[in-house]
């Protein structure tokens, strides 16, 4: 069942970010999404961590503790095979949502 809804957007953003960055910690993910979207998209920590936990439990991402460039300890997340497949699915269904919403908006 494809998640053909807007709530799936956060999952999609996280999965896409991880596929672009390879491996990243929570702060890095928020920062990346903020920077790339010109601060249009602001991911809240209160939503980010539950989402990360859920995706890890679902086997889409895995995590490990590592040391950052600033020599802090942080938990780094990366995609699994199932996560990559999930990302492809989500991207496709997102395109359809966008197409659908635009069609509605253009209807005169």
Nearer Cβ to another protein, position 54 or 92?
Answer: 54
Q: Among 86, 69, 70, which Cα is nearest to 14's?
A: 86
Nearer residue to another protein within complex by CB, 87 or 105: 87
Q: Which residues bind another protein (CB under 8 A)?
A: 25-27, 31, 44-47, 49-50, 53-54, 57-59, 68, 70, 72-75, 82
Estimate to the nearest angstrom the gap between the alpha carbon of 24 and the chain centroid.
11
Cβ count within 10 A of residue 13: 21
- Least Å distance between CB 31 and another protein? 7
51 and 11 in contact (C-beta within 8 Å)? yes
CA angle 41-92-94, nearest 5°?
A: 35
Question: With respect to another protein, which residue has the nearer C-beta, 2 or 101?
Answer: 2
Terminal Cα-to-Cα distance of the chain (whole angstroms): 32
């Amino acid at each position: 069942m494809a998640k053909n809804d807007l709530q799936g957007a956060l999952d999609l953003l996280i999965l896409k970010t991880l596929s672009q960055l390879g491996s990243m910690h929570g702060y890095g993910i928020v920062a990346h999404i903020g920077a790339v979207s010109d601060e249009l998209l602001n991911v809240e920590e209160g939503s980010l961590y539950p989402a990360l936990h859920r995706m890890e439990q679902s086997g889409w991402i895995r995590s490990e503790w590592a040391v950052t460039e600033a020599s802090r300890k942080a938990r780094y997340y990366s995609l699994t095979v199932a996560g990559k497949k999930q990302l492809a699915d989500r991207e496709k269904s997102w395109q359809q949502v966008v197409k659908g919403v635009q069609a509605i908006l253009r209807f005169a």
